[in-house]
Amino acid sequence: PSATPVLSQCLGTLNLLENKCMEKKRTEFDKADNLRAAVFQNWLEKKKLFLMELKRTEKEKAENLRNDTEKKEALRREESIACFEAWKEKKAREAKKLSEKKKLEEKTPAEQNKEKTEAAQVAFKRWKEKKVEYLREQSRKEKESERIRKEKEEELIAEKRRISISAVEKWNEKKEEYIKKKKVEKFLERKKQEMQQAKKEEKNEKAMEEYERWLENKERREELEKKQRKMQSVHGNEMSPPWRPP
């Protein structure tokens, strides 16, 4: 009788655990679905952006193609118009020449000579004006060339003067440095000679003092020897002279 409540309690616990497990799995499934939905939504947005970019690129290509076509058509029209204008000018020149030729043929030799003379005078006048202009331009160019040459010569002379002045200044600096160096060398040499002379004089003084001491000692020894000989001559061989090193 006591086993039934225990079994019911165990079954209730198992049902509760199973429900919790099912809820956990359901939560995990929901999370996975949400993740899939988020990934799919991201993919849709990227696809939408890609399609929009593709459409924009195609639109730009179509616009560029249309612009290129319009430019080519405009260029072709301009070339056609230019060719037509050139053809018109050529025809007009040919018609003018033909008209002038007909007029010359219709005129008398005197009129033709007069026109030729007038044309020659006009041509000579133009040639003279062109020659005067050419000579004036040549004179201007020569003056400009002379001015540039003089400026270059002046710049060259100024540069040479600057170089000479710089060289003289450097030479003077080197000369002053050399003179200072020689003065220092002479001063040091004079000091050296004075020191050598002082040492030599000091050495001579010491030698003289040594000689004087030696001479004084020699005189003392001679005086002592003289006294000893005198005493020996007085006392005979009673007293032997003290031993003295040689």
- DSSP assignment of 173-208 equals HHHHHHHHHHHHHHHHHHHHHHHHHHHHHHHHHHHH
**pTM as predicted:** 0.27
What per-residue confidence (pLDDT) applies to 93?
86
User: Which amino acid belongs to residue 158?
Assistant: A
What is the SS3 string spanning 119-160? HHHHHHHHHHHHHHHHHHHHHHHHHHHHHHHHHHHHHHHHHH
The whole-number pLDDT of residue 1 equals: 41
Tokens of residue 65, six digits: 């193609």
Using alpha carbons, list the distances in angstroms from residue 203 to 114, 189, 195, 199, 215.
129, 20, 12, 6, 18
Q: Is 2 helix (H, G, I), strand (E, B) or coil?
A: coil
The pLDDT, as a whole number, for residue 13 is 64
Does residue 107 contact residue 115 with C-beta atoms inside 8 Å? yes
Q: Which two tokens stand for residue 108?
A: 């008398």
Calpha distance 167→21 (Å, rounded): 105
Contacts of 104 (CB under 8 A, 6+ apart): 112, 115
Q: How far apart are the first and last CA of the chain?
A: 155
| Rounded Cα–Cα distance for residues 190 and 184 (Å) | 10
**Regions of the chain where pLDDT drops below 50:** 1-3
pLDDT of 106 reads 65
